[in-house]
Amino acid sequence: MTNPELSASVHHEEEASDRVMFGFWIYLMTDLLMFAVLFAVYAVLRGNTLGGPTGRDLFSSQLALSETIILLTSSFTCGIGMIAARSRQKNQTLLWFGITFLLGLVFLSLEIREFAELIRSGHTMQTNAFLSSFFVLVGTHGLHILSGLIWGVITLAFVLKRGLDKHMVRKLALLSLFWHFLDIVWIFIFTVVYLGAFT
């Protein structure tokens, strides 16, 4: 970097990218707080079944476990995808993020199936406070997964079109942060909602 103006401009960009990362972490914290409220609400209302079936009667531990394994695996593949992105290997990046996307899709469809079965057997979010809080807590996570998937498709489309430059790697890094974050939240849902129902 002999040209001082050019180096100043590069410096300017690096600083901006650093700030975006930091800001995204703060955003994740705010999102986490929203989940914290939903967990608290679930803890308060989980006993209010009005004599109806409790979580033990309604949930399937096997389904929850397989959802967990799928999501954890998707986090792993997402991590590999990130390594590929940082070393600028476009095809590998697309492959691993693609696998992540598919796993996310499987997770989401399993969750939708679980919800659909509950609703079909008459256990809807209107039934009682326990089910309201269950559907909203798990559903909010599902909604986040859905937005992660939409975000992923769009980002991958741009990777395909524009290739992997510095900006694109940063965008992928944000996406992977978001994905890992959803994984962590799911671990809490698995523990509090599903394991909690069977203890």
Partner 1 sequence: MKELLLGKLNWHALPHEWFTIGGAVAFIMMIVSAAAYLTYKKRWKWLWKEWLTSTDPKKIGIMYFIVGGFMLLRGGLDAIMIWLQQSLSSGSSHGYLTSDHFQQIFTAHGSIMVFFVAMALIFGLINYIVPLQIGARDLASPFMNTLGFWLYVAGVVMVNMFFLLGGEFSATGWLAVAPLSGKEFSPGVGVDYWIWSLQISGIGTTLGGINFIMTILKMRAKGMSLFKMPLFTWGSLLSMIMVVTVFPLLTITVSLLFFDRYLGTHFFTTTAGGNAMMYTNLIWMWGHPEVYILILPSFGIFSEIVSTFSRKSIAHYKSIVFGMSGVATIALLVWLHHFFTMGAGADVNSAFGVATMIIAIPTTALVFSWIATMYKGRIRFSLPMLWFLGFIAVFALGGISGVLLAIPPVDFQLHNSLFLVAHFHSTVIGGVLFGIFAGLNYWFPKMSGFRLNERIGRYAFWSWIIGFFMAFTPLYVLGLMGATRRLDHYDGSNGWQPFFIMAFFGGVIIMIGVVLQIVQIVASIMQRRRLVDATGDPWDGRTLEWSVTSPAPAYNFAVIPEATERDAFWSMKLRGLQKPHYENIHVPKNTGSGIYISIFAFLVGFGFVWEIIWLPILSIVGIIICLVLRTFNDKTEYVVSAKEVEKIEQSHADKVRSAPSGSDTNEEDMGLIEFIKAVLAWALGLVRRKR
Nearest alpha carbon to residue 100 among 119, 124, 77, 126: 77
Torsions phi, psi for 46 (to 5 deg): -65, -25
Residues 78/123, Cβ–Cβ less than 8 Å: no
Could you say whether residue 153 binds partner 1 (CB under 8 A)?
no
Query: Among 34, 69, 83, 160, which residue sits at the site for partner 1 (rule: CB under 8 A)?
Result: 34
Question: Token match 């997964």: residue?
Answer: 145
How is residue 84 written in tokens?
A: 């590929």
For 97-121, give the DSSP string.
HHHHHHHHHHHHHHHHHHHHHHHHT
- Binding string, residues 83-122; x marks residues near partner 1 by CB under 8 A: ----------------------------------------
Q: Given the rule CB under 8 A, which of 30-38, 77-85, 86-94, 183-191 is the region that contacts partner 1? A: 30-38
Residue (61 or 147) nearer to partner 1, CB: 147
Vertex 22: Cα angle to 18 and 26 (nearest 5): 165
Could you say whether residue 12 binds partner 1 (CB under 8 A)?
yes
Query: Among 48, 60, 61, 121, which residue sits at the site for partner 1 (rule: CB under 8 A)?
Result: 48
Residues that bind partner 1 (CB under 8 A): 5, 8-9, 12, 15-16, 18-20, 22-23, 26-27, 29-31, 33-34, 37-38, 41, 44-45, 48-50, 125-130, 132-133, 135-136, 150, 154, 158, 167, 171
